[in-house]
Each structure stands twice: as structure tokens, then as C-alpha cells.
Amino acid sequence: MTQAPLSYKDAGVDIDAGDALVERIKPLAKKTMREGVLAGIGGFGALFEVPKRYKEPVLVSGTDGVGTKLKLAFEWNMHDTVGIDLVGMSVNDVLVQGAEPLFFLDYFACGKLHIDTAAAVVGGIARGCELSGCALIGGETAEMPGMYPEGEYDLAGFCVGAVEKSKILTGRDVRPGDVVLGLASHGVHSNGFSLVRKCIERAESSLPATLDGKPFREAVMAPTRLYVKPVLATLAQHPIKALAHITGGGLLENIPRVLPEGTAAHLKKGSWPQTELFAWLQKTAAISDHEMNRTFNNGIGMVVVVAAPDAAATAATLRAQGETVYEIGAIAARGDGAPVEVR
């Protein structure tokens, strides 16, 4: 018996839907174009020329995902901000080397392609790139039947930036007596969501209507703050010694990554406010201050280390750029203590 022919669509892959998505993405990506882009979306590879204003450019790369925050995006049908998270996790990492993010690529994988959902996600990616001065020049949309449950997808992002070789931030000049500034976060950002989801399950029948002046779900899903433009503008005016992006591991695990051996960061408890969101998470999870500071950013999304004489002017410039800035501590000799102490 002759069997009926099978198409790729019969196997679960809709090429027409993929083509339609690309057409919807193109105008979004076009808004992110900047100097250096030679060829973007549509080719087999994207082309980018390092701007000629760099004398000794060093490329800095970063890659990340959004983690289990995506599970809430699926459950709550909130797909327009996780793309900003995706960009933020990589561009903020590149930034801590003192680098300017140049271009970004994304990977979107799903079992069945839903154009509206994918367009909302990529729209967020494009918005994040636009706010970071970073070109969205390529990516991949993979429709893989049977790999993901209906309505679910996965995301990965890839960023490349550049910094003058003489201006790379390594933290090697950090010394006891330097001041630690903290830049406020937008909320949980994209780390700690396995615990966030457990808290939501635990308090399911008594979830607060609002937190920090926002509906509960909007507060939880607030996207990662993009620090690129304010920090780069400040770097052009002030001698910042080190930057730390506060992601998985919180303040306690990320600050030591930019401290020289023999130094520690002593943070002053209460020097920045705990938001309603983080207070609710801590109460619901019934965890200690120490656990909060090693699980979440706990209100501080980026740490800036400067010499004491430069602290006031640096903070003023960051505030003028729209950042909420707190003086949260100082660098000290390490001794027998932990690399970060909050007291």
C-alpha cells in the first residue's frame, strides 16, 4: 500500500510560521542598529566591524539564560519582559569589565512555534538591546516537536562587547578604604526563581494584591535593570575601580569575584532599604538575612567600588543618569573573616 506523503509541517515543524516570525522581528531588530553593523538578520552569519574609535580593542563576551523565571512566564502568560531579562543578564556581565556591549544574538527553542508568543519575547529582546545601545544582529528560532511541553520554550542569549585594553576593569586596584556603592535593582531580576516559585506555592491562598506599588505578578516579573548606559557614562567621567553584577549567589558570592586577594567587603546592614517584594519573600520562605544575601540581589543589582575621595562625585553622576545609589559599605583587609560581611 502506498503511504501518503509526509511534509515537514506534518512532522510538527511549520516553516511558514518561522518565516512569518522573521518578518515580524525585522522591524524590531532594525531599531537596534548602530555603528559597526555590516549585515544583520537574514544571512547565514551577522557581520560587525569594531568601531574605529577603539585603538586597542579587547572583545568581551557573555552568555546566559533566564532560568526558571520562564515557568512563571508560561503560567501567567507574561512573555514581554523575559526578553529584557535575557539581554540584561549578558550585557550587565560584559559591562563589569568596563566594556561597551556591541551586538547580541538570541536562541529561542520551542516544541511548537506560536508566533504571537515568540514575537512578544523577541520584542523584549529588541527593547533590551535598544536600551543598552546593543545591536540585535542575529539569532536562531528552533521548532523541535516533542522536545518541550505545549506552550513552553527556552531562551539563551549571547553578547559581545569591546573595551580599550588600557581601560579593562579587573579589580586589581581595589584597596582597603575604598567605598562600595550599590545600585538599586528592579526586583528579583532573573536569579532565585526556584525559591520564588516555592514561595508562591506556599502562599498560594494568600498572595498579596500588590508589592511596591505594582500588581503582584508585575512586581515578581519586573525585568532585569539595564545598567549599561548610566555606568558607561559614569566611567567616562570617574575612575571606577571595580564593578560586580549581582546575579546568582547574591551579594555574598558575586562581590568577591572582583576583589584582590587579602581584601573583603564590609557592607553596612540597613544602608539600603528592603523592598516589599524581598520582605515578602524572606517572610514566606522563613530564611535568614544571610540566606537572602546569597540567594537574591536583595535590592542591589550592581556594585560599584571607588576610592573614597571619588565616592560622592561618582554617586552624583550615577544619580544624574537615573540610578538609585546607596553607599553600602567599604573595602577592608580580609583577615580571618568572610570575603563579604554584612553587619
Mean pLDDT of the chain: 94
Say if residue 247 is exposed, middle or buried (CB neighbours under 10 Å; 0-12, 13-18, 19+): buried
For residues 105 and 47, the answer to whether their CB atoms sit within 8 Å is no
User: Which of 132, 167, 202 is the C-terminal boundary of a domain?
Assistant: 167
| C-alpha triplet 210, 215, 218: angle, nearest 5° | 130
E strand or H helix at 159, and its extent? strand 153-164
Give the model confidence (pLDDT) of 122-152 as tens digits: 999 999 999 999 999 988 999 999 999 999 9
> What are the φ and ψ backbone dihedral angles of 272, each rounded to 5 degrees?
-135, 150
Residue 5 pLDDT exceeds 90: no
User: Which of 114, 138, 167 is the C-terminal boundary of a domain?
Assistant: 167
Give the model confidence (pLDDT) of 163-189 as tens digits: 999 999 999 999 999 999 999 999 999
Residue type at 82 in one-letter notation: V
**Segment among 24-28, 69-73, 85-89, 220-224 with least mean pLDDT:** 24-28
Residue 1 pLDDT exceeds 80: no
Q: Could you count the other beta carbons within 10 Å of the beta carbon of residue 200? A: 18
Q: Residue 21's pLDDT is what?
A: 81
Q: Do 218 and 333 fall within a single domain?
A: yes
Q: Residue 10's pLDDT is what?
A: 58
Q: Do 131 and 248 fall within a single domain?
A: no
Q: 61 is in which domain, residue-wise?
A: 15-167
Average pLDDT over residues 257-285: 97
Q: Residue 122's pLDDT is what?
A: 94
Q: Do 210 and 294 fall within a single domain?
A: yes
pLDDT band with cut points at 50, 70 and 90 for residue 202: very high
E strand or H helix at 204, and its extent? none
For residues 230 and 318, the answer to whether their CB atoms sit within 8 Å is yes
Say if residue 113 is exposed, middle or buried (CB neighbours under 10 Å; 0-12, 13-18, 19+): buried
Structural domains counted in the chain? 2
Residue at 115 is within a domain: yes
- Rounded alpha-carbon distances, angstroms, from residue 200 to 78, 248, 251, 280: 16, 19, 23, 10
